[in-house]
Structure 1
Amino acid sequence: MAAILSIALNPTIDMSSEAEQVVPTRKIRTCNEKHHPGGGGVNVARVINMLGGAVELIFTSGGVTGILLEQSLDCTGIECRKIKIEQSTRLAHMIYEQQTGLEYRFVPVGPEVSQQELNLVLEQVEEFEGDYIIVSGSLPLSVPYDTYALIADIADRKNIRFIIDSSGEGLKCALAKSPVFLIKPNHRELEKLTGKRLDNNEAKEAALELVRNGSARNVVVSMGAEGAFLANEEGGLFIPASPVNVRSAVGAGDSFVGAMAFSLASGHAIQDAFRFGVAAGAAAVMTDGTELCKREDVLKLYGDILSKA
């Protein structure tokens, strides 16, 4: 199986809990508290590892929350390379309101990462010998916008496929300067990338245009309850969302990317990997709080999708 490197420049400790009702000023008593190592690159690595893939993780870590992150990752068995930073790792919190079924998500912007600390990350990336490099999640505020483009350049020079799941200026720089194998914006992120409001048909056309103009070889657009769309030089493939009991949307996109990368690294064609990613995204929304997809759910939903292909 091909080797994968996942990079998390702005990881989190993801906390989740439930409350009967969320109201201002009063103390909100919570229950079912959980915490997991999180942030895009961390979650992607966790999914690949859970599915049985070979994955390495580079992540930044600082302060007492960084120690908790490291300890939480030690339990996963993922091969990790931590880069110590001066400021503290962020802590995010999701509260599920039992009365309404609504989620409230509180996500700090995270610590600053110095240029010296970032250089240590880039040195570790240079040492990777494998087949896929994935960057997922937001850039720390202090990091230059072209950071993901620099990582894409390293991947291109080493003939490694580069996958990016991010948004904003970091994504724009990567697409403008470097060859990208796969991007996975959601509908809203695609609108930000194009600078236009898009209906579903326009979103599909925008994804195809990104392929035609050479920005990325493959573009996957997740459309929430509508489904997902894959665009590449072979055309477009739309898969409607699987009918599942939605519990929490946290980690659905990361599950999608991780499962798709796992499938690609296992030697499957891009269309099959896309189907596997759709299954993992659907499986993730079936879990509570900050939990990611479960392997048995992914395999079942993947079988359902294949039966309709």
Structure 2
Amino acid sequence: MASSYDKFQKRRLITSYFSAVLSVFLVLFLLGALGLFVINSKKLADNFKEEIAVTVFFKNEATDSTLTAFSNELKTAKFVKKAVYVSKEQAAKNHSEVVGEDFISFLGVNPLQNSFDVYLKADYVVRDSIDRIEDRLRKNEMIGDVVYDKQIVKLVNENIQKISLWMLIISGVFALISVLIINSSMRLSIYSKRFIIKTMQMVGATKAFIRKPFIWTSVKLGMIGGVLAVIALIALLLWIDNANPGLGVLDEPIATGIILLAVFGLGVLITFVSTFFATQRFLNLRTDDLY
């Protein structure tokens, strides 16, 4: 009978530890994933901005030397991320593929113009900067027109500001929820041992002596949960980088390392503080209040 009871208690203890580690792991993983998203949010926004093209159309009078000179000018311009030359023949071919018919054979002439698709650096994808760049480009007499989607530029910048604000709010709320969840898990774990705490106190053990093993056990559970969360976050980063290498999620090793260390440290800190106050609460209770 005693052997069966001991096995039951052992299984119960393992289940309790497993639940505590699982709750710490899940909360820290989600919090860490949110933190990684926050530090990479600017990069994601910049990546999207740099996909918006400013198309520069040249007049038919523009010679090859004019186009070459303009291409060289773009290579040295500080606001240019990249530039792609699209000849009128290539533009006609692209248009025919989209429309599904050869419009040149119908018109008898190619009405399209040679152009450059200019992709700006993210810091310059704002209305004022693009307007200044447009004014500069139009000084070239061979340029017929400069076109870009003004509405998209406006929406992108407005939405990025809104998203950044909401991400800060969500991060704060989620951090608070994380603390409360881990705290509740630790308190429940200590609650199941409240009679052991009171028994040790009744035989003369000091509060510090009673708290020490409970705190150390909880901290170890927090460390295990933190290590698992860090491993899972690293795996997540590697998967995202492998699936979308252009995002460069591994290009910020210092910031990423700080997030991972913070996740691990938070697991240890919260379990320590939660266990300390939970044991203190039961140490201060009268025996009758335990029931």
Greater helix fraction, Structure 1 or Structure 2: 2
TM-score (norm 2): 0.19
Greater strand fraction, Structure 1 or Structure 2: 1
TM-score (norm 1): 0.18
Which structure has the bigger radius of gyration? 2
